[in-house]
Structure 1
Amino acid sequence: MPLTLHAAIIPNWLQSLGATARLLDRAEQWSGEAGMSEGEILGARLADDMLPLAYQFTSCCNHSAYAIERCREGHFTPQTNPPPMKFAELRAMVQEAIGTLTAVTPQELEDIAGNDMIFSFGETMRLEFTVQDFLLSFSNPNLFFHAATAYDILRMKGMPLSKRDFMGAARVKQG
């Protein structure tokens, strides 16, 4: 049986966003227990030239649900608004992304998989893809990069986490 584009990405993205939602919940509780303010933890960075934790959570949504929305139009431009600096706002964003992905049907993705897709940033950067290649070779690795970076920032700050916290709920065989 051939693997559909939907089967290749949507369940994995939902798994990752589910883990991201749990990381947010745990980070909020843990940061309070550790005496860190919301701004301190959400503003934390792995390195000075990297973007903060809040941006990492936002980018998980941008490279999943927002990417799907933009594929419908054929053009993705990164959102440059500052990320929300409140756990509640980030949580709502992740939940909205989960809802968006849950509503995507296999047929919808099959119908647009071969369509043209452009990624542009600023005046000079323009990459041309098909929707399928954009989702598989651009958005997919970006989602996992930002999810891993969020996990890494929390670990760096001292939050007790395990690999399972990053992976989320695996889709094990039932029955």
Structure 2
Amino acid sequence: MGYSFYEGTVPHFKGALASLNSILKKAEEYAAEKSIATEDILSWRLADDMLPFSFQAYMVIDTTRKLLARVNGEEPVALDKDSFNSFAAIYNYIAETEKALATADPAVFEARSDVTVTIGMGQGNSIEAPAKGWAALYGLPNVFFHLTTAYAILRNKGVPLGKRDYVGAFVAPWISA
């Protein structure tokens, strides 16, 4: 059997959530060490005209949830961006989304890989694409963009992150204890 739609998506989205969780923990430790309110970290940005850290976390989680909904033939449930207002809320969203990914059915992914899905592109625009196309050419790049941006925001503000903090979560399944 070749590389399946499921194998090409679910492990990557799982890794992204685990990586977000990892860098969030490092940010929380940094905040405690430096007496910074974690709520302040949520508003950090790389540039004044960029969206804040909380939005980057929102996009990683929201895009993952949209993948699952679309593959399952469901309308994605909109998350409230404003509810990403604490580290606890983000940890909760990560945990909920990880649970949903853990129940993803490989057979459903394969059966629905060519189903046409509608993708919101912002500002009222949308496009249609096969589910596997959406995942490979929009979903994964979008998740990695926002995860990398979240990492860069934290790193830029002094959080002691390294490549291992980002990539380690992706390779964790292969690391023996």
TM-score by length of 2: 0.88
> Is 1:31 aligned with 2:31?
yes
Contact 2:83 2:89 in 1 (8 A): no
* Aligned equivalents of 1:26, 1:153: Cα separation in 2: 13
Structure 2 counterpart of 1:6: 6
Contact 1:65 1:97 in 2 (8 A): yes
* Aligned equivalents of 1:81, 1:173: Cα separation in 2: 34
* Aligned equivalents of 1:78, 1:142: Cα separation in 2: 17
Q: Classify the secondary structure of the residue corresponding to 2:23.
A: helix
1:124-160: CA deviation from partner (whole Å, max 9, x where unpaired)? 4121101110111111100101110110010011011
Structure 2 counterpart of 1:70: 70
> After the TM superposition, which parts of structure 1 deviate over 6 Å for at least 4 consecutive aligned residues?
none
1:11-60: CA deviation from partner (whole Å, max 9, x where unpaired)? 12111211111211221121121121122111101111211111111111
* Aligned equivalents of 1:23, 1:162: Cα separation in 2: 9
> Is 1:126 aligned with 2:161?
no
Shift of the 108–157 alpha-carbon distance from structure 1 to 2, 3 Å rule, reads same
Structure 1 counterpart of 2:56: 56
Q: Could you tell me which amino acid in structure 2 is paired with residue 119 of structure 1?
A: I
The within-5 A match list for 1:154-169 is 154-169=154-169
Runs (5+) with no aligned partner, structure 2: none
TM-score by length of 1: 0.89
RMSD of aligned residue pairs (Cα, Å): 2.2
Q: Cα offset for 1:75?
A: 5.7
Q: Cα offset for 1:108?
A: 1.0
Contact 1:75 1:119 in 2 (8 A): no
My pick for the range that moved more, 126-135 or 112-121, is 112-121
Contact 1:46 1:152 in 2 (8 A): yes
